[in-house]
Amino acid sequence: MDAINYQEPIPEDFKCKCKLPLMELTSWTLTNPCRRFLVCPNRYTGVKKCKKFYWVDPELDNEWYRGHLYGMYGQLHPHKIEDIATELTSHEQLIILQHDFAGLQAEVAQTQKNASFWKSAFMILLTLVFVVYLMK
């Protein structure tokens, strides 16, 4: 992903390959309320799905302040909080799936090691049987 974290000022070389002007949006997630960011319009539309992303504002380091901003936004836009809650649930599901996938990858790797061992053992046994058969 072409993401750059907050720096002051925005780097001169931060350009999008799509040659479109970057959009400035504001995040209203629980983890980044009221935090502005730049993003390529093709991130959400278009065929290319450009990944260019840049945080304009620094991360809020105070959990209380973050929660307070998010709560005020929720009072002003209660219908949007439901959408964000669904998004967080989807994000949590993605994290769970990624964790499960990593576990399955490890299991596949172990199974491949076991298969390789048994294949080698079978080949050795087959060779011994062939040698014994030739000696008769």
Q: Which residues contact 97 (CB under 8 A, 6 or more apart)?
A: none
> How does strand 3-4 pair with strand 53-55?
parallel
The DSSP annotation for 80-134 comes to HHHHHHHHHHHHHHHHHHHHHHHHHHHHHHHHHHHHHHHHHHHHHHHHHHHHHHH
Residues of the chain with pLDDT under 50: 1
SS3 73: helix
SS3 1: coil
Q: What is the pLDDT of residue 7?
A: 55
Q: What does the chain come to in residues? A: 136
Q: Where are the domains of the chain?
A: 1-76, 94-136
Q: What is the pLDDT of residue 1?
A: 44
Q: What is the pLDDT of residue 124?
A: 92
Q: What is the pLDDT of residue 21?
A: 79
Q: Which residues contact 46 (CB under 8 A, 6 or more apart)?
A: 18
Q: Which amino acid is at 127?
A: T
